Amino acid sequence: MSKDIGIDLGTATVLVYVKGKGIVIKEPSVVAIDKNTEKILKVGKEAEVMLGRTPGNITAIRPLRDGVISQYEITQHMIRHFIKKACGTMIFKPRVIICVPSGITEVEERAVVDAATQAGAKRTYLIEEPVAAALGAGIDISAPNGHMVVDIGGGTTDIAVISLGGVVVSESIKVAGDKFDEAIIRYCRRKHNVLIGERTAEEIKKKIGSAWPREEARALNVKGRCLIQGLPRMIHITSQEIPDALEEPITAVIEAVCSVIERTPPELIGDIISNGIVMTGGGSLLYDLDRLIEYATGVKTRVAQKAVSCVAMGTGKSLERLSSLPEGAINISRR
Ligand SMILES: Nc1ncnc2c1ncn2[C@@H]1O[C@H](COP(=O)(O)OP(=O)(O)O)[C@@H](O)[C@H]1O
Ligand SMILES: [Mg+2]
């Protein structure tokens, strides 16, 4: 029997859903390469530990970092690796649904489809990320009722209003979790004169970060390199500093949400006010970001349960629809 699978090809995380089994893979979208031979050494978890720690001849990269397939061959290799890992020996080729950002161009769509087909898929379909996110969050998207989804990943934030199974208005910006980390690095450089690494910045964000000053302050000691003496130095950073540090990228996310609301037809605005905004993706876990979006828009906002797995769950659910698709359809969320 062939196994149909759904892939959430995220800029930070790849999740694979196998029909009948659920999510079987959840690994960072990282690939380690030997620069001299261009050979791929490791993919996923094993490659992630190498990020920022590789010797001269090895480089660990995130090929989807900017939300599009900029490094086509590496991406293809990564897709193949995960399809194989999910399916075991491929006697029967699987049908594959891959989730893509809503702002993707036709050229990029082609690149994703080709990559999956080259990687061993019998047929490849695409689903737009916000549609999958909404499905995974348990929203009935087929009804003539507007829902707004804000998916904040590593590389992109995808905002969309969905009704009758399709995207009515959307926006995708390249500001998400990675930009939050970069803003924390810039802040530590500016305020503490210390250069910290990306993983340290991410740790600060997850452990003590917030979009809004926390009621109970928290603190963390982190290590970096002093920019004045050039020596290792420990800094004490408190949660009250983070909303300041994150102001720029968070403002960009909020402005994008507001711009989608501004472009939403009035009838659907009414629906969104009653249904509220649903947030998905790892970036939506930033403490109190939901509260800030609610404050800025005046629309009640909640983070979906299992926010990080929503898109993969939705992609999995949409596997059920494959048999009823019209011949030749590729993008199943576009009609
Ligand atoms: N608890 C958390 N608080 C804040 N950010 C988080 C948390 N957990 C994960 N993230 C961030 O979520 C982002 C990855 O989200 P994910 O949905 O996996 O991305 P993508 O869909 O682009 O692969 C990263 O920037 C990561 O730092
Ligand atoms: Mg995602």
Please measure the distance between the N-terminal and C-terminal CA atoms of the chain and give it in whole angstroms: 29
Any atom of ligand 1 within 6 Å of the Cβ of 308: yes
pLDDT tens, residue by residue, 134-192: 999 999 998 999 999 999 999 999 999 999 988 999 999 999 999 999 999 999 999 99
Q: Exposed, middle or buried, 152 (CB in 10 Å: 0-12/13-18/19+)? A: buried
pLDDT tens, residue by residue, 70-99: 677 888 889 889 998 998 876 778 999 999
**pTM across the whole model:** 0.93
What separation in Å is there between the alpha carbon of 280 and the centre of ligand 2? Answer: 8
Query: What number is the average pLDDT over the span 215-238?
Result: 96
| Ligand closest to CA 153 | 1
Q: Between 331 and 97, whose confidence is greater?
A: 97
Any atom of ligand 1 within 6 Å of the Cβ of 154: yes
pLDDT tens, residue by residue, 264-274: 999 999 999 99
Across 155-159, 218-222, 326-330, least confident range: 326-330
pLDDT tens, residue by residue, 26-57: 999 999 998 888 899 999 999 988 877 778 88
Question: Which of 11, 15, 69, 306 most suits a substitution to test ligand 1, by most atoms within 8 Å of the C-beta?
Answer: 11
pLDDT, the chain, mean:
91
Proportion of the chain above pLDDT 90, given as a percent: 67
Query: What number is the average pLDDT over the span 111-124?
Result: 87
pLDDT value of position 93: 86
**Residues with a beta carbon under 5 angstroms from ion ligand 2:** 10, 153, 281, 311
Residue in this structure with the two tokens 């740790």, named with its chain if needed: 203
Any atom of ligand 1 within 6 Å of the Cβ of 153: yes
Any atom of ligand 1 within 6 Å of the Cβ of 130: no
**SS3 (DSSP) at 248:** helix
pLDDT value of position 225: 97
Distances (CA, A) of 149 to 15, 39, 95, 132, 301: 19, 39, 27, 10, 10
pLDDT value of position 112: 84
Residue 327 pLDDT more than 70? no
What separation in Å is there between the alpha carbon of 13 and the centre of ligand 2? Answer: 7
Q: Regarding the domain delimited by 5-132+311-324, which CATH topology (the fold level of the hierarchy) does it fall under?
A: Nucleotidyltransferase; domain 5 (3.30.420)
Closest ligand 1 atom number to CA of residue 14? 23
- Check whether domain 177-245 has CATH 1.10.3720.10, yes or no: no
- Check whether domain 140-175+250-308 has CATH 3.30.420.40, yes or no: yes
Any atom of ligand 1 within 6 Å of the Cβ of 286: yes
Residue 332 CA, distance from chain mean position: 20
Residue in this structure with the two tokens 């979006």, named with its chain if needed: 293
Please report, for the chain, the start and end positions of each structural domain, with discontinuous segments joined by +: 5-132+311-324, 140-175+250-308, 177-245
**What kind and span of H or E run contains 298?**
none
pLDDT value of position 328: 65
Any atom of ligand 1 within 6 Å of the Cβ of 202: yes
Distance CA 67, CA 125 (A): 18
Same fold, 5-132+311-324 and 140-175+250-308: yes
Distances (CA, A) of 184 to 60, 66, 178, 237: 22, 19, 10, 11
What separation in Å is there between the alpha carbon of 321 and the centre of ligand 1? Answer: 29
